[in-house]
């Protein structure tokens, strides 16, 4: 899947560049670049924790990224302390499951 869309929605102040989006989307099909160089979101490098055809997780200090691909979208969640990785992951993965169940 190549990225061919626009940003549907984003939180104020969470601006991800087109290059970062392209890098992320490519990582679902071929995570080798993310494994070698890390994940970059908003100019910050995240250590890659997981990358497969559905989910990509990254961590930097007490912040992290959870990205999940659905049929038509990529949901990117960013969390910082006091939120923990498990809580953020659960929310983003459940939202992705819902979107997939309704055809997105």
- Tell me the C-alpha distance between 40 and 75, whole Å: 15
Sorting pLDDT into bands at 50, 70 and 90, what band is 9? confident
Which stretches of 1-104 are assigned E, i.e. beta strand? 39-41, 44-51, 55-60, 63-69, 74-80
Longest dimension (CA), the chain: 35
Sorting pLDDT into bands at 50, 70 and 90, what band is 4? low
Is the predicted pLDDT of residue 1 greater than 50, yes or no? no
Is the predicted pLDDT of residue 5 greater than 80, yes or no? no
pTM of the model: 0.91
Is the predicted pLDDT of residue 51 greater than 90, yes or no? yes
* CB distance 95 to 73 below 8 Å: no
* CB distance 33 to 23 below 8 Å: yes
* CB distance 31 to 16 below 8 Å: no
The token duo for 21 is 């989006």
Count of CB atoms situated within 10 Å of the CB of 93: 16
The CATH number for 18-102, chosen from 3.20.20.140, 3.10.20.740, 3.30.70.920, 3.30.450.30, is 3.30.450.30
């Amino acid at each position: 899947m190549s990225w061919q869309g626009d940003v549907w929605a984003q939180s104020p102040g969470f601006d991800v560049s087109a290059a970062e989006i392209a890098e992320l989307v490519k990582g679902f099909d071929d995570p080798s670049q993310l494994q070698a160089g890390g994940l970059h979101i908003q100019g910050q490098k995240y250590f890659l924790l997981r990358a497969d055809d559905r989910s990509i997780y990254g961590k930097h200090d007490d912040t992290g990224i959870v990205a999940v691909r659905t049929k038509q979208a990529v949901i990117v969640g960013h969390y910082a302390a006091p939120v923990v990785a498990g809580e953020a992951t659960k929310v983003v993965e459940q939202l992705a499951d819902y979107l997939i169940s309704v055809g997105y």
